[in-house]
Every structure is written in C-alpha cells, then in structure tokens.
Structure 1
Amino acid sequence: MNEPPQPPKRVTLATLAHHAQVHVSTVSRALGPDPSGISPETANRVRELALALGYSRDIGAAGLRTGSSHLIGVLVPRLTDTVLAAIYGSIDEAASRAGYDTVVANTLDDPAQRRSRLDAMLSRRIDGVIIADSHLGDTTAYELGARGIPYVLVMRKLQGHASVGIDDELGGRLAAEHLLDLGHRRIAVIAGDPTVSTGIERTRGFLAACAEAGFPVAPELVVTTAGFDVGGGLAAATRLMALPDSPTAIFTVHDLLAFGAMGAIRNAGKRLGTDVGLVGYNDMDLAATLPTPLTSVRSELDEMGRLSIGMLLQQLAGGNPESVLLPPRLIVRQTTVP
C-alpha cells in the first residue's frame, strides 16, 4: 500500500540561511523593511533564494517578535469612488516602499459598518490607521487616539486631528471667481454631504467669494446631497434646472456630482458650456476625456496619499506631525469656456 505523500517542508529563515551560507540574522535583515548593514549583493541573493524556494513570511510571528505587524489599515467610504481609489493606490504604494502592507475597508459612510470594519482591522494588530471617511461628530479618531493607535486623516478633515488635505475653501473660491469673471450671476451649488469637511469647505469658499463680489447665491440655489455620486448630482441638478429662473452655471463639490449634473442639463434642453457653465472638483482622469471636457478644481490625490503615509510613519517613530494643506488649481475646459 502506497504511503500518502508528505507535505513539503516549510521554508524557514534557517533554510534560506543554509542555502545562502549566511547567518539567520542576515537573512532576516535582507527580507525586512530595512536591509541596512548588509551588502546589496547579499540582500539580492537572499531575496532571489526566497522567491525560488517559495519562502512566505509569517507576519503574525514576526509581529509577536517585534511588536509590529507592519500592517496599516485604511478606511474609505467606497473604492468605487475613483478619487478615493487613486488616494488609496498611492497610500498602498508608499506603504510598500516603507516595508508595510495595507488592508482597506469600505465603510459606506455608515457608522455601524465603520465600527465593524475597524474592529476587524484592530484584531489584526495593525500598526496605524489612515482615515478617509471622517464626518462631523465621528468619534473614530478620538477612540484611536485614546487607545494609543497612530492615525492620520486624508482628504476629509476634522479640527484638532492630524490630516492631509486640500485647501478646499480656496478651491471653492477659485471656482466662484472663474464663473464670475465669465459673467455668470445666477450660479448654483451642488454642495454634497453637509456633514463632510470637503463639501462644507468647498461650498463655504464658493459662497464667500460670490458674496464678496456683490453677487450672493440665493438659498434655493444651494442643494445638498446624501453623498458624492452621479445619481445625487443628477437629482440635484434636475431640481435646479426645473426652477422658473434656472441657473446659468453650477458648481459641484465633486466631479461625480458634475457628471450627474451633465445629464440634467442635457435633459433640460440646455447646451453644456454655452447655456449652462459647469465646474467640478478633484479633476478626475475622466474629466478631460468627456465629449465636453469638464472644468474642474484639481486635487493632488497621489500626493495626499504619499504624505499621509509619511505622517503616519512619523507618528510610529514617536513624532507629532502637523497637518498639511495642499494648494488646489483650477483646470479650465469646455464646460465653462466653449
């Protein structure tokens, strides 16, 4: 009777050290986030051996030895939002270069979902958290701080918490000044979620610039939405275009809202960029490739992701980094200048 096949022996650091003819500690450094102290040739030889022999690092065991899991949690509302997907992509890339892995969770901007996903992350002994779904009144950042877990907010901001974001009030002002310079006077705002800093600050900057120029925006021309999606933009702009005196221009606090507004402008029989001007925010890649390219306020999404990892690593090293505000830039296209 044939004996059952034996499972292959697990490749360990000792196995690699034997084949590479170096000490186990040299192998550990070569495969770790900081291979200083050994030559690049030795580090490359060990890594090639690890790949060839099928070595798999035991993150849990490494965490028990070092007190670090080298895992970073990232909370986002939803990765179907390509703005957040772009930020997460740069976070993951920067984390990988620093020797960390990331685990991302969609919270759907729902407190119960956020709590469940955060608890799951904490059970994996993550080293820190990047929060991209903060709301006014949200306690997640406070709870992490009370537990001594480093965290950084990205894109959205909360007063008193370290964050990387865009100067959104200035971004709103840039959009208002552009539309006013073009001669628009009856301008509407699709303001997004009124509990999120991005919607609040972008709208505040826009309204302030209009008021200071002597053309305050009428209350019925400011419409909030439950989120920052295409459907919300379509519904809000449909409501605006149905007004007896409809606006000649619309500012939306997110490009996805602007994409929805395009449909409502078309459905109202208006010509985009000629009859109704439209400005979005974030300058997603799609904005420049639409049949009528969208004027948008550019956010440096990749830079936000990289900086958020840098700030988190500073905290992990015992530092206390200050919040960063990146400058916005208006990109003018055919939805405002045909």
Structure 2
Amino acid sequence: MKKELVLHIDHKNSEPLYKQLKENIKEQIISGKLEEGIRIPSVEQMSKTLNISIQTVSQAIQELDEEGLIYCRRGKGIFIAPKEKHAEACKIKEVVFVLCNIEYPRLSYLRILSGVESEVIKQQLYLGYYNFNEQRSLSPFKSKNNIGMVLGGVITPNTLETISKLSIPFVITGDLFKREIEPGVTIIADDDEGGAYLAAKHLIELGHRRIGLITDLRKYLWSNLQLKGFEKAHQEAKLTVDKKAVIESDDLWPESGYTAAKKLFQQSASITGLVVPSENLTYGIVRYLKEKNIRIPADISLVGKGSDYNSDILGIKLTRLETQAEQLGRTAVDMLLKYNTDKNGLFKRITLPAKFFNGASTQKTK
C-alpha cells in the first residue's frame, strides 16, 4: 500500500513557512516514505490544508523541483521523482543554520546568518535553516548532504547533548549558557575579556576613576571574562575596582538592565563612567538614565554594546563594543569545511578580536 504525503507545519515557529513545508516533504522523500512516481496534493490543496498562501506552497515546490526531488506535469499534477534523481540531490552539499530555543530571532542572529549565507554562496553550497527546540523532531538534520550545522541562539547543556547525538559536525556561534568551556566542541565567540578591557581602558584614559560594570556576573563564561578584562584595565592603571559599582543583572534582558542601573546608582551614585558589555542590558540602562535625567555623556560616560542600528534606537551615537556577527558566521562555515578535510580540525574555542567604536556617549572628566 502506497503511503501518502503527511503535511505538517508549525505556524508558531519563526522558521519561514515555505522552508518548513519544503523540509517536511523532503524528509519523507529522502527517507523512502514516499515512493517514486506517486502524485502528491496540488499547490491549491496544500494551501487549503495548511492554511497558508499559494505563493508560500509554490516556493517550496519550486525548490524541491530544482533539487530534483519532484517533477511537475502541466495538467497532470506533482509527482515524486525517480530515486536516481534523489541521489543527485543528495550530492548537493548543505550547511544548516540552526537557531536554538528562540522563537523570534534578534538582529544579532540575523547578522550571523548573513555571514553564514555569504560564505555558503562563496563555497557554492546550499544553505538550510532550522528553528530548534527540544520538542521538535531531529529528522531534517539526518540527510546525507548535510556537511554540518552552525548553531546560534540559546544553547544550553541539554541542547548541546541533544544535538551531539546526531553525530553531525557542528560549530557554535557564541559561548554556551554555562560557566565553563565545553570540551570537545568548536565555539566561535567574541573576545569578551578583550572587549571589557578596551572599554574600561578607554574610560580610564579619559580621566575616569570611578567606573561601574553591569553584566550577568559569574553566571556564564563570558561574564567571567568580562569581569577579568575590566579588572585588568584597572590593575594596569594602578586603580582599585569599586566592588559596589560592579552589579550583577538577573539576566540579559533590557528590564534587568534597568533594574541593575537603579541598584548601581543607589549604591554608588558617584560613578562617572559605566561599562555595559551586553546589547540588551544597554537598552534598559539607557532608559533608566533618561528617566532620571542623568545626561550622557555630561553626567556619565557610557560604553555599551551594539551597532549603528542600536544607536539609532537609543537616540545617541553610542561608544560601544561591536559583535563581529557576520564574521562569526563566515568563520563557522570555514571551520566546518576544514573539518571535512581534517577530522582533527574541529574541537577548539576561537575568539574574534574585540571591535571598539568611539562614539559620542563618552567624554573626558571635568
């Protein structure tokens, strides 16, 4: 008895609907669940069944056709292509970008994806996209043409354990949400120690001696490194870090930045400089400063983290540390390709040099 196509997409998933549909059909073809030559539902039928637009279905069908997995006959319908065509499709090498445990991707992850895409195009590969959480099926990863995965998002130890069971090479962009370096995995990350060092050094060179730091202190690897870099800049200048001016945020969301800033100015109102090596925390801190009429940089010099886009939202040309997001993506793909020629080439932590931008949110002390 011939098996029929089982249609499924998740409207709550941030992954594009056409990609979900494409992977749903592709997995059933590659796995042999659908026999060659059988007819599958029309574009109109799939559109109605899944409650998505005809254009969305058409895009998925077009890409499957281009990969040789199906063929369309005018007036007849859509059919599963012969298995020899499947074999040809499997020769197309693919890198999959996997966004973990985040429903809607932030700008930084989209920039990483942009870097992955540029390197994939340069190397004449295909790019897949998958939004992963621990409740979703892992079957889309198991195609033979998948040479590796680039992971972004919130990658917990549980996520890492689940992904590792696939036995597919992967590279993580950004550190894990844990305190220690994970052995046996490859991570491409910012130089968090170097970034916090440059930020604190910049303020010290402007004459600031009472400098605060807000981060998710000691919870994760990167916050340990940020504190280390902050302290190093003070040590070189023979200054003592004011412990009351080093504030731990509850997490990395803007509201926690707001709360941490409130606590900081209650404990150490005399600070003249502030380092915030987190993009989201910077938003909340700037909101607090504006509400309290604490002027930037007249009353306090601020080094945050972000990009030109963040500066536009904040309404100030921010002196900042910048994540080299596109380079993270490009380097991750490069590492996967090296692993395919040298099996010992993976399993290391690579840091990209800190990038410092001198904006208008800092000034010399009076």
TM-score, with length taken from structure 1: 0.70
Across the two proteins, how many residue pairs are aligned to each other?
A: 280
Check if 1:332 corresponds to 2:358: yes
Output one character per residue of 1:84-110: Cα deviation in whole Å (capped at 9) or x when no partner: 2211222233334432222232x6xxx
- 1-side partners of 2:96 and 2:150: how far apart? 7
- 2-side partners of 1:153 and 1:216: how far apart? 36
The one-letter code matched in structure 1 to 2:362 is: T
The one-letter code matched in structure 2 to 1:305 is: G
Partners of 1:171 and 1:328 within 8 A in 2: yes
- 2-side partners of 1:318 and 1:143: how far apart? 24
Partners of 2:211 and 2:245 within 8 A in 1: yes
Counterpart of 1:180 in structure 2 is 204
Partners of 2:324 and 2:355 within 8 A in 1: no
Cα distance change, pair 190–127 in 1 and its aligned pair in 2 (3 A) = same
Describe the SS at the equivalent of 2:66.
Answer: coil
The one-letter code matched in structure 2 to 1:89 is: S
Matches within 5 A, 1:2-41: none
- 2-side partners of 1:208 and 1:92: how far apart? 37
Q: What 5-or-longer segments of structure 2 have no aligned partner?
A: 1-60, 71-82
Matches within 5 A, 1:285-324: 285-287=309-311, 290-321=314-345, 323-324=349-350
Choose the corresponding residue for 2:66, options 56, 64, 75. 56
Choose the corresponding residue for 1:210, options 234, 246, 253. 234
Partners of 2:217 and 2:249 within 8 A in 1: yes
- 2-side partners of 1:216 and 1:85: how far apart? 39
Output one character per residue of 1:238-295: Cα deviation in whole Å (capped at 9) or x when no partner: 2222336353222112222112211111222211111111111243533267432110
TM-score, with length taken from structure 2: 0.65
- 1-side partners of 2:199 and 2:349: how far apart? 24
Output one character per residue of 1:118-173: Cα deviation in whole Å (capped at 9) or x when no partner: 736546675422222466x7154455446421011112263432122222211110
Counterpart of 1:89 in structure 2 is 114
- 2-side partners of 1:230 and 1:119: how far apart? 33
The one-letter code matched in structure 1 to 2:116 is: I
Describe the SS at the equivalent of 2:267.
Answer: coil
- 1-side partners of 2:297 and 2:93: how far apart? 52
Cα distance change, pair 296–280 in 1 and its aligned pair in 2 (3 A) = same
Instruction: Tell me by how many angstroms 1:207 deviates.
Output: 2.5
Partners of 1:251 and 1:280 within 8 A in 2: yes
Counterpart of 1:104 in structure 2 is 130
Cα distance change, pair 254–121 in 1 and its aligned pair in 2 (3 A) = farther
Counterpart of 2:271 in structure 1 is 247
- 2-side partners of 1:151 and 1:172: how far apart? 28
Describe the SS at the equivalent of 2:157.
Answer: coil
- 2-side partners of 1:206 and 1:298: how far apart? 17
Choose the corresponding residue for 2:253, options 218, 225, 229. 229
Describe the SS at the equivalent of 1:241.
Answer: helix
Check if 1:72 corresponds to 2:91: no
Counterpart of 1:28 in structure 2 is none
Cα distance change, pair 121–174 in 1 and its aligned pair in 2 (3 A) = farther
Cα distance change, pair 189–104 in 1 and its aligned pair in 2 (3 A) = farther
Cα distance change, pair 55–237 in 1 and its aligned pair in 2 (3 A) = same
RMSD (CA atoms)? 3.4
Describe the SS at the equivalent of 1:324.
Answer: strand
Partners of 2:92 and 2:125 within 8 A in 1: no
